[in-house]
Amino acid sequence: MESTKKPTGQDVLDNISVRLIQEHEKPKWNELIEKEHYLHNARLVGEQLRYVAEFEGEWLALLSWSGAAYHLAGRDQWVGWTHMQRRNRLHFVVSNSRFLLRTARGEYPNLASRILRLSLQRLDADWREPYGHGLLLAETFVDIEAYAGTCYKASNWIELGKTKGFERAGTDYYEPHGRPKRLFIRPLHPKARELLAAPELPDPWKAHERSFHPGCTVTSPQLRSLFERFNAMEDPRAVRGRRYPIGGLLAIAACAVLAGAQGYGAIADYAAHLTQPQRRNLRCRKRRNGAYDAPCTTTFWELLNKIDNDELDQVVCNALRELQGARPEAIAIDGKTVRSTRPDEEHQSKLNLFAALAHDKAIVQNQVQIADKSNEIPALPELLAPLDLDGTLVTADALNTQRESARHIVQDKGGHYLFTVKDNQRSLRKRIEQRLSGRTFSHGPPHG
């Protein structure tokens, strides 16, 4: 009777091989994972590959690579990418989602790290075959209660700490599962970190970068607050035929414009990418099947062409002032011509706005339209009327260096002013030079 000699650890390390499973082997692979892996779940997310590690025909290990976690604070901080970069480049990150070593613990030292290394050596080429793009970074999670992550450390993976113990429970929210895990990552490219956070990807990576619509990142409480503010405005539309409340339409338009939308079509496209909970918060029309519709281009065109611009402007400015919290210590006033405007039947010139802006947070406090054939000087009292300027410094360019402007700020509003004086105001400049002889203010940085 022949005796079978157990292979040595070195024999296994030298002859172990890692390969992709074939389609007919998938049921067996899934069955072993569900039976022997601690998660007991063979379902993978997104793009995916399944491997087996063989020695003399025996499956000693099973592992898989699949789509990376969508939100992962430790990884995202390490990469340093923006929200949109993460959305458009996440497919360049892969997760070692399953790793099942079927030998007894300690039976073959270094076997796990050897299998992991062999899998990584072929992963990028294998991934390009079905999905057409390469990989830049790998990630994995190690259960703290069961494993130490030794094979990942031995394979030069970087430990980034513990996760917070949450799992996705739906499209828009996460729930705690009470089992934080250790997070490891491994760059698969010498410049993985630099590429993932690059302002613009170089070729050939650029050709495979995805372009997702940014969507609406405003929180539900913020959307409800916007709705309430805008919904208090007078609705200029006919009562019959209104499908969407004015508050919801203006909240969507405001968020879309802040996100970079230009034109009615772009606003409608932004609305089409709102989630169902967001549409519900904005009181969008509900269908019989329970889904919420998104307003179309015509709906926005009809409202925005009838809205009272001055009332809308006041609502926005009031909201901004409340959001900034404490009253600013200094504001700047200046007038600008709005781009993409042109004269029409009612106005002989382009739209000119006179605005007051907080120095510290760059938040608009108020703005008014400058009348045709006029300028900023007579518009100053109207601009400052709703603002509490007691003790506030008001800065302005030389156009507003006027006695009446200074008097209004100090006597009527209780503020202070700092105006610019140019050479064309010779008498004023001369008096200033006489009063402030020598260098009153240093042009250099303070010392001491």
* Homologous superfamily (CATH) for 9-208: Gcn5-related N-acetyltransferase (GNAT) (3.40.630.30)
Q: What is the mean pLDDT of residues 149-177?
A: 70
Provide the residue ranges of all domains of the chain, joining segments of one domain with +. 9-208, 220-307, 326-338+350-435
Helical residues (DSSP H) of 220-325, grouped into ranges: 220-231, 246-258, 264-272, 276-281, 297-304, 309-323
Pairing outcome for strands 93-101 and 58-67: antiparallel
211 or 248, higher pLDDT: 248
pLDDT at residue number 27: 96
Q: Is the pLDDT of residue 175 over 80?
A: no
Q: What is the mean pLDDT of residues 436-446?
A: 58
Q: Is 153 exposed, middle or buried (0-12, 13-18, 19+ CB in 10 A)?
A: middle
pLDDT at residue number 1: 41
User: Over the stretch 76-86, which tens digit does the pLDDT of each residue have?
Assistant: 999 999 877 88
Q: What is the mean pLDDT of residues 175-202?
A: 87
Pairing outcome for strands 330-337 and 393-396: parallel
Give Cβ neighbours of residue 65 (< 8 Å, ≥ 6 apart).
48, 49, 51, 94, 95, 96, 97, 119, 123, 127, 138
Q: Is the pLDDT of residue 174 over 50?
A: no
Q: Is the pLDDT of residue 448 over 50?
A: no
Domains 9-208 and 326-338+350-435 alike in fold = no
Q: Is the pLDDT of residue 101 over 80?
A: yes
Q: What is the pLDDT confidence band of residue 440, given thresholds at 50, 70 and 90? A: low
pLDDT at residue number 438: 61
pLDDT at residue number 213: 66
User: Over the stretch 358-411, which tens digit does the pLDDT of each residue have?
Assistant: 888 778 888 888 887 778 888 889 889 888 889 899 998 888 888 899 999 999
Q: Is the pLDDT of residue 70 over 70?
A: yes
User: Over the stretch 249-284, which tens digit does the pLDDT of each residue have?
Assistant: 999 999 888 887 778 888 888 898 898 999 999 999
Q: Is the pLDDT of residue 335 over 90?
A: no
Rg, Å, the chain Cα set: 32
Domain 326-338+350-435 has CATH 3.10.20.30: no
**107-121, 140-154, 159-173, 177-191 — which is least confidently predicted?**
159-173
Q: Is the pLDDT of residue 171 over 50?
A: no
The percentage of the chain sitting over the pLDDT mark of 70, rounded to a whole number, equals 89
Q: What is the pLDDT confidence band of residue 444, given thresholds at 50, 70 and 90? A: low
